[in-house]
Amino acid sequence: MTNLQTDIVLSSRVRLARNYEDLPFSLMETPGNATLCEQRTLNALSLENADEGYTLYRMREMNEPQKNVLAEKRLLSFDLVERCPMGSAFIHEEKQVSIMMNEEDHLRIQAILRGQQPEKTAELVYQVEDALQKHVRFAFDARLGYLTACPTNTGTGLRASLMLHLPMLTLSKQMGAVNQIVAKLGLTIRGIYGEGSEALGNLYQVSNQATLGRTEEELIEAVNAVAKQLIDMERNLREKADRNDPVQLEDTISRSYGLLKYARRMSLKEFMLNWSRLRVGSALCRIPHSLEKIDALLEKAQDAHIMKWLGEEVQGETLNEARSQRIRKLLS
Amino acid sequence: MTNLQTDIVLSSRVRLARNYEDLPFSLMETPGNATLCEQRTLNALSLENADEGYTLYRMREMNEPQKNVLAEKRLLSFDLVERCPMGSAFIHEEKQVSIMMNEEDHLRIQAILRGQQPEKTAELVYQVEDALQKHVRFAFDARLGYLTACPTNTGTGLRASLMLHLPMLTLSKQMGAVNQIVAKLGLTIRGIYGEGSEALGNLYQVSNQATLGRTEEELIEAVNAVAKQLIDMERNLREKADRNDPVQLEDTISRSYGLLKYARRMSLKEFMLNWSRLRVGSALCRIPHSLEKIDALLEKAQDAHIMKWLGEEVQGETLNEARSQRIRKLLS
């Protein structure tokens, strides 16, 4: 069995960008073509019986919290949620596979798996692509590969990313150096919710930047290789901290645990800070909660999830109060 | 029964300054006279059978932690502990009465009682004085009253002080104004360990400044009157905070409770901050611990008490670690 490195790697995500060869790129502003794209996709999957367990979500038919819950689960991109009224997604929640339609490209097929297993994750998206390709034709150039709305995605159209938890690298101010290493290898490192987002919770996504000129296997291999380096660096720092001053480490973890269990109001930002310390505690067996539980907490403590749990749209201190309630319940 | 106002008043303390009429003031540097002062006091008390339950402590025969434990209990002054090698004290721990010898004056007779009851506290010190006066003569001037080493204590030689917990007055930046009110009435307000000490834990001692020109009753009445004003102000602020935003108040209290229960290392300063919030929580019935228990915690978490509990002299992080252990145990 493969080691999923869950102490540092939360998840693997792979997405493919695909476009129908007979439709213009970027259908956001042509409702007729957008509907055609959606129907064609659903039909193709249905003909292959590949639609079982999937639910269709249309952005224009959902309210903000409903959309945001799926975005917080990373089953929808924030781009789709915020900027694509004609967008929709066909989602298999259990398998964590989603087929986004009418986002930047006609199709964004993505899958997420726990820990470091981008190869298996890629298999899931290729299964979907295979089913589709029995009935549709994608824009493809023999020399360039798959064609996409934005040239950076042209080629394999594949982006493989790993979500890494790097609190010690962050604390030791090494993320600047890490960024440089990563960039030199043609990869990129970003915050939890993708481009331009802050590294809340010391969470970083490492992914390939370009998709052209390398095979799918090479791209995934490159991401795995960089992740391996970062995992080693982070693990060494954790071991060093534990060796040098175990009580200091335990104090930091335990204080965050205490705050999460006792606060009556907590902002998302403060939650993410304490959650990060809690995750280190779980990885080092310093608190009585599994990594699975801690990672589930991350999702459940996000704004839209809190509103869903509460059953109403709230904000400000009322939201922070409900968040604390929810956290206490989940940790008790 | 009197209301002791324990939600705000921790304790009442009264001390008398007395000097033997035939010995020069300030015996710190004359070992022979200092010994004479000590023997005379013990003999007088013994003749009256007023020495039962008392233990004699000589500063020169004790190590630092032993002395500091008694100072933290406020049964010894830090002046006696730090600057009086010929000093000693006859202490009744249960009654919280101590007779310090060869400090600034020959005798400093003091008693401490829980809550606001300076009159009863005064009775305890006058009982000791009465017993002594059957056998000794104190320096006394018909016009000035009792004579003392420092003229500020001349007169009644009495200082009555109340230990007040004023977190909301501190938070609302009203302590400057409070200082002025107090000074105008010929009283003084100081930190927990007396003159020049910081108001750690938002604890303040209100006491009379001069002892001349007023009777004992008047001095105590003045202290009670100022305390009453401060108690009202503090209580109003607490009620207002609880009315305006009860969750905010509860959040502050509960976070401190969580930190005290979960930290693995805590400095005295941080302890005092969190202890103060915990005491408000106890006064407002927001935590499951009585004020008695919280006040006992204050004493038990001080440096020398921690070393006594640990059975060894420690400092720095080791001390802070032991403090956290002790606090966790006491709050569990």
Domains and CATH numbers, chain A: 9-235 (3.30.590.10), 245-331 (no CATH)
Return the biggest CA–CA distance within chain A: 64
Distance from CA of A263 to the nearest CA of B (A): 5
pLDDT surpassing 80 at residue B5: yes
Nearest by CB to A261, which of B250, B258, B263? B258
Give residue for tokens 């907590």. A266
Query: Which residue in A250, A264, A265 is closest to B264 by CB distance?
Result: A250
Q: Identify the pLDDT of residue A2.
A: 65
Is A254's Cβ below 8 Å from some Cβ in B?
Answer: yes
Confidence class for position B102, pLDDT limits 50, 70, 90: very high
Chain B nearest CA to A321, separation (Å): 8
One-letter identity of residue A137: R
- In tens, the pLDDT along A9-58 reads 999 999 999 999 999 998 877 889 999 999 999 999 999 999 999 999 99
Nearest to B262 among A258, A265, A324 (CB): A258
- Of A224-238, B94-108, B179-193, B233-247, the poorest mean pLDDT is in B179-193
Give the confidence band of A1 by pLDDT, cuts at 50, 70, 90.
very low
Residue written as token pair 């009086």: B84
Query: Which has the closest alpha carbon to A193: A81, A278, A281, A42?
Result: A81
Asked if B115 and B5 count as a contact pair (C-beta separation under 8 A), the reply is: yes
Task: Write the DSSP assignment of A178-215 as a string of letters.
Answer: HHHHHHHTTEEEEBTTBTT---GGGEEEEEES--SSS-
Strand partners, B122: none
CB contact under 8 A, B258 and A254: no
Backbone angles phi, psi at B193, to 5 degrees: -100, 30
Put simply, the answer to whether A259 touches B255 (Cβ < 8 Å) is: yes
Give the residue on A whose Cα is nearest the Cα of B249.
A264
| In the predicted structure, residue B177 carries a pLDDT above the cut 90 | no
Return the pLDDT at A116: 98
What are the pLDDT digits (tens) for A110-146?
A: 999 999 999 999 999 999 999 999 999 999 999 999 9
Do B257 and A254 make contact, defined as CB atoms within 8 angstroms? no
Any idea which of A264-273, A292-301, A304-313, B195-204 has the lowest mean pLDDT? B195-204
- Is the Cβ of A244 closer than 8 Å to some Cβ of chain B? no
pLDDT surpassing 50 at residue B1: no
Q: How confident is the model at residue B193 (pLDDT cuts 50, 70, 90)?
A: low
Question: Which residues are within 8 A (CB) of A110 and not within 5 positions of it... i.e. 6 or more apart?
Answer: A13, A14, A15, A16, A97, A98, A99, A100, A125
Taking alpha carbons only, the member of B217, B220, B218, B187 closest to residue B205 is B187
Question: E strand or H helix at A99, and its extent?
Answer: strand A97-101
Q: For the beta carbon of residue B45, count every other beta carbon within 10 angstroms.
A: 19
B324 touches chain A (CB under 8 A): yes
Give the residue from B113, B142, B107 showing the smallest Cα distance to B128. Answer: B107
Judged by a CB distance cut-off of 8 A, whether residue A263 touches chain B is yes
- Measured between beta carbons, the chain B residues lying within 8 angstroms of A248 are 265, 317
Q: Which residue of A has its CA nearest to B318?
A: A247
Q: How far is CA A311 from the centre of its chain?
A: 25
Contacts of B257 in chain A (CB under 8 A): 262
CB contact under 8 A, B264 and A247: yes
**Distance from CA of residue B186 to its chain's centroid?**
20
Which chain A residues contact residue B331 at CB under 8 A?
A: none
| Residues B264, A254: C-beta atoms closer than 8 Å | yes
- Specify the 3-state DSSP secondary structure of A111: strand
Residues of B in contact with A259 (CB under 8 A): 255, 258-259, 262
Mean pLDDT (whole number) for B104-108? 96
User: Is B270 part of the contact surface with chain A (CB cutoff 8 Å)?
Assistant: no
Q: Helix H segments across A196-313?
A: 216-244, 246-262, 268-283, 291-300, 303-310
Q: Do B265 and A257 touch (CB under 8 A)?
A: no
Kindly report the average pLDDT of chain A as a whole number: 94
All residues of chain B having their beta carbon less than 8 Å from the beta carbon of residue A263 are 251, 254-255, 258
Judged by CB atoms closer than 8 Å, whether chains meet at A248 and B258 is answered as no
Of B248, B254, B321, nearest to A262 by CB-CB distance is: B254
Q: SS3 for A141?
A: strand
Q: Which two tokens stand for residue A37?
A: 């794209």
> Is A265 close to B248, i.e. CB distance below 8 A?
yes
In whole angstroms, give the CA distance from residue B301 to residue B274: 12
Sign for the CA dihedral angle at A75, A78, A82, A86 comes to: negative
B295/B11 Cα distance (integer angstroms): 10
How close does chain B come to A317, measured CA to CA in Å? 9
Is the pLDDT score of A197 beyond 70?
no
CA distance A271 to chain B (A): 13
Strands (E), chain B: 9-18, 55-58, 88-92, 97-101, 107-114, 140-141, 145-146, 158-165, 187-190, 203-208
Mean of pLDDT values over B18-36: 91
**Looking at the predicted structure, is the pLDDT value of residue B197 above 70?**
no
In this prediction, residues A256-272 reach a mean pLDDT of 97
Percent of chain A with pLDDT strictly greater than 70:
98
Confidence of residue B199 (pLDDT cuts 50, 70, 90): confident
**pLDDT at position A218:** 94
Instruction: Write the CB contacts of B152 (distance below 8 Å, at least 6 apart in sequence).
Output: B209, B210, B211
CB contact under 8 A, A264 and B250: yes
CA distance A160 to chain B (A): 40
Query: Across the strands, what pairs with A89?
Result: A57, A100
| Radius of gyration for chain A, computed over Cα atoms and rounded to the nearest angstrom | 21
Residues of A in contact with B251 (CB under 8 A): 263-265, 324
Give A 281-320 residues with CB within 8 A of chain B: 317
Which among B58, B86, B53 has a CA at the least distance from the CA of B70? B58
- State pLDDT tens for residues A69-123: 999 999 999 999 999 999 999 999 999 999 999 999 999 999 999 999 999 999 9
pLDDT at B117 over 50: yes
Phi, psi of B14, rounded to the nearest 5 degrees: -130, 135
Q: A123 near A109, Cβ under 8 Å?
A: no
Residues 6+ apart with CB under 8 A from B171: B237
- ipTM confidence: 0.90
Burial class (CB within 10 angstroms; exposed 0-12, middle 13-18, buried 19+) of A137 = exposed
Residues of A in contact with B261 (CB under 8 A): 258, 262
Distance, CA of A174 to CA of B123 (rounded, Å) = 67
Q: What percent of chain A has pLDDT over 90?
A: 87
Is the confidence at residue B201, as pLDDT, over 50? Answer: yes
